[in-house]
Amino acid sequence: MANRSKTVLTHRVFPETVSMLEDWTDVITNDADTSLPRDEIIKRCRDADAMMVFMPDSIDNDFLAQCPKLKIVACALKGYDNFDVEACTGRGVWVTIVDDLLTVPTAELAIGLLIGIARHVMTGDRDIRAGRFTAWRPTLYGMGLAGRTVGIVGMGRVGQAIAQRLQGFDATILYADYQALDPVTSASLHLKRAGFEELICRADYIVLATPLTSETLHMIDRSAIDMMKPGAILVNPGRGSVVDEMAVSDALADDQLAGYAADVFEFEDWARADRPQEIPQTLLAQPEKTLFTPHIGSAVTDIRKAIEAEAATSILEALRGDRPTGAVNDTP
C-alpha cells in the first residue's frame, strides 16, 4: 500500500474540517487555542505534504528548506503577505487563499466598531459595571452618522461591503482608490470618489479597507492625521500596519483624533522585519478613546467553517495533482 500523505493544521479547526481531510491524508492537528512555536511547526512539517495556515503563521525560504515534501500552503485567510509566494513558487509549492468569504463579516464588524467608538459604548458599559450609573446624566455625548461624512480608503470587496451596509444611515460616503468603480456600482452605493488627501480632510469617519503593501504601509502617519478634521474618528478593520500606531496614540492624546477602533494591529504583520512586538502601551492606556477587538473580523461560526472547508478543498486538489482552488501562484 502506498504511503499516505501528511497534512499539518497549524491551528485548531472545526471537526468537520478534519473529517474532510482524514479520509485522504493523515492529519496532524493543533487542538489548543494558542499558536505553536515556529520550531514546533517546522518539526511537524518536515515530512508533510500539505499544511493549512492562519494569520499568525509565516512561511519563508528557510522554513521551506526544512520541509522539502510540501506541495501546498493553504491559507485560511485572504491577506497573504506573511507568506513568501516567490519562495514557494521556486520550490514548486502552491499557495492558496480564501478570497471572498471574509468580506461580509469584516464589513459588519467595521460598522460595529465605528458606532461603538463614536457612541462610547464600551465606556458606558464599564460605567454601569462599576456602579457609576444611577440615572440619566448629561455625559458620554458622541457623534452620530446622520449628516456626517464617512470616508472609506480602499474600494475593493470589503470597501464596497462597508459602503453597502452604510446605506440608510443618511451619511455622505466618499471613497479613495487608485481605480474608480464602474458608474453603476458607484451610483447604486451613492458614492463619491475623492483623492486620499481630500478624503481625510473632509471625512468625520475614516475607515481603512486597503491591503497592506509597500505603498500603504503607514499611510496613516502623523502627517496624514494632521490633515484630518480635529475630532475625526479612525476605524481599521483591515491591516494593522496601514496605521502608525504611535502616531495614532499621540493624536488621541492631543485630541486631534477623537477615537480609534481597530480589529488589527501592527505586531501581527510578521513579514515586516521591523514590526513592533506589541501594541503600544500608550495606545492601550486610552480606553475612553479606543475600542479594540482581537482580530475577529471573520469570527462568525458558519463563515469560519466555510473558510476552513475551502482551504481543505484546496489541499485535497493539490494532493491529487490538480491546480488548487484559490491558487495565487503557478508551480513549475
Which residue matches cell numbers 522539502?
A: 68
> How many whole angstroms from its chain centre is CA 179?
21
Catalytic, out of 157, 218, 222, 268: 268
What is the 8-class DSSP label of residue 327? B
* Residue 156 burial (CB count, 10 A): 14
CATH classification code of 5-99+301-319: 3.40.50.720
Q: Report domain extents, the chain.
A: 5-99+301-319, 103-292
Give the HSE-up count for residue 186: Cα atoms under 13 Å, Cβ half-sphere.
Answer: 13
Query: What is the model's pLDDT at position 1?
Result: 41
Q: Where are the alpha helices (DSSP H) in 46-147?
A: 61-65, 85-90, 103-118, 121-129
Query: What is the model's pLDDT at position 270?
Result: 82
CATH topology of 5-99+301-319 equal to that of 103-292? Answer: yes
Is the pLDDT reported for residue 321 higher than 80? yes
Question: Is residue 40 annotated as a catalytic residue, yes or no?
Answer: no
Choice among 81-90, 161-170, 227-236, 241-250 with the minimum mean pLDDT: 81-90
Catalytic, out of 38, 148, 272, 295: 295
Is the pLDDT reported for residue 201 higher than 50? yes
Query: What is the model's pLDDT at position 100?
Result: 85
User: What's the rounded mean pLDDT across residues 162-175?
Assistant: 98
> How far is the C-alpha of 20 from the C-alpha of 312, rounded, in Å?
7
Which pLDDT band holds residue 2 (cuts at 50, 70, 90)? low
Helix axes 301-319, 15-22, angle to 10 degrees: 10
Question: Is residue 16 annotated as a catalytic residue, yes or no?
Answer: no
Question: Is residue 268 annotated as a catalytic residue, yes or no?
Answer: yes
Q: Euclidean distance between the first and final Cα of the chain, in Å?
A: 28
User: What's the rounded mean pLDDT across residues 201-230?
Assistant: 96
Catalytic, out of 44, 239, 245, 317: 239
Per-residue pLDDT of 63-89, as tens digits, reads 999 999 999 999 999 888 889 999 999
Query: What is the model's pLDDT at position 79?
Result: 81
Contacts of 300 (CB under 8 A, 6+ apart): 105
CATH classification code of 103-292: 3.40.50.720
Could you tell me whether strands 257-262 and 25-28 are parallel, antiparallel, or unpaired per DSSP bridges? unpaired
Is the pLDDT reported for residue 332 higher than 80? no
* Residue 169 burial (CB count, 10 A): 16
> How far is the C-alpha of 220 from the C-alpha of 204, rounded, in Å?
15
